[in-house]
């Protein structure tokens, strides 16, 4: 059980880093806030992070209830996770990781696009749901997932607070390169999840 919990925790960590972490948040927040004064950037980053954390916790609480009602097994979720991880990695590598800019000025920047779109992408929300689904009735893993959400959001906040000097020093291209690297690793992780599910179903046997 301990080994299984550690393996599931590593899966959640990799998925969160790729889809909810600061690698996506920093350049996105920089593009959205570079015209703002330092005080306004600070307030926007803090409000956006708190909203993103609240949304993440709601998603984490909803998943166990939905999973029990729909009678979805852990291995079913592994296949779903494989699909979503692979699609997310493909989207990044294909260069379509963000929606086209809109001319309309959002009324509440902290909620959208900061909390929803910059911090929590579609794939990030899926990663949170899948992580809690994989935790299932494992209370230790569920606590680990929630703790990781707090850590990731703290890293996002730290990254956004220093987004302007970081991006101006490293350049946007550096984050794109990091995104490609994580996308390739994420595709490998998707294969690992898929193979694990097939082994549990007895379709293939685990190597000795």
Find the helix packing angle between 163-170 and 172-201, rounded to 10°.
Answer: 100
Give the largest CA-CA distance in the chain.
59
For position 135, what pLDDT does the model report? 78
| Dist. CA 183–CA 85, nearest whole Å | 9
Please report, for the chain, the start and end positions of each structural domain, with discontinuous segments joined by +.
Answer: 2-99+107-201
Per-residue pLDDT for the chain (208 aa), expressed as one digit of tens each?
Answer: 444 445 555 566 666 666 788 988 999 999 999 999 999 999 999 999 999 999 999 988 888 787 777 777 777 777 877 787 778 778 877 875 544 444 556 678 999 999 999 999 887 887 888 788 777 777 888 888 899 899 999 999 999 999 999 999 999 888 888 888 888 877 887 787 788 778 878 788 866 5
Supply the pTM of this predicted model: 0.79
Residue 42 CA to chain centroid, in angstroms?
A: 22
The answer to whether 179 and 86 are in contact (CB under 8 A) is no
DSSP code for 113:
I
């Amino acid at each position: 059980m301990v080994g299984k919990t550690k393996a599931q925790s590593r899966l959640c960590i990799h998925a969160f880093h790729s889809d909810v972490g600061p690698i996506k948040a920093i350049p996105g927040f920089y593009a959205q806030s570079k015209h703002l004064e330092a005080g306004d950037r600070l307030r926007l980053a803090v409000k956006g992070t708190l909203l993103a954390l609240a949304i993440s916790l709601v998603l984490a609480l909803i998943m166990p209830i939905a999973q029990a009602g729909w009678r979805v097994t852990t291995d079913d979720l592994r296949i779903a996770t494989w699909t979503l991880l692979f699609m997310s990695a493909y989207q990044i590598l294909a260069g379509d990781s963000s929606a086209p800019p809109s001319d309309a000025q959002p009324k509440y920047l902290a909620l959208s696009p900061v909390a929803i779109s910059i911090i929590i992408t579609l794939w990030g929300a899926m990663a949170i749901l899948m992580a809690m689904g994989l935790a299932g009735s494992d209370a230790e893993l569920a606590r680990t997932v929630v703790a990781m959400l707090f850590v990731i959001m703290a890293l996002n906040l730290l990254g956004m607070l220093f987004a302007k000097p970081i991006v101006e020093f490293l350049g946007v291209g550096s984050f794109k390169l990091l995104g490609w690297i994580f996308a390739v690793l994420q595709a490998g992780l998707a294969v690992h999840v898929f193979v694990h599910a097939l082994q549990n179903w007895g379709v293939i046997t685990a190597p000795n």
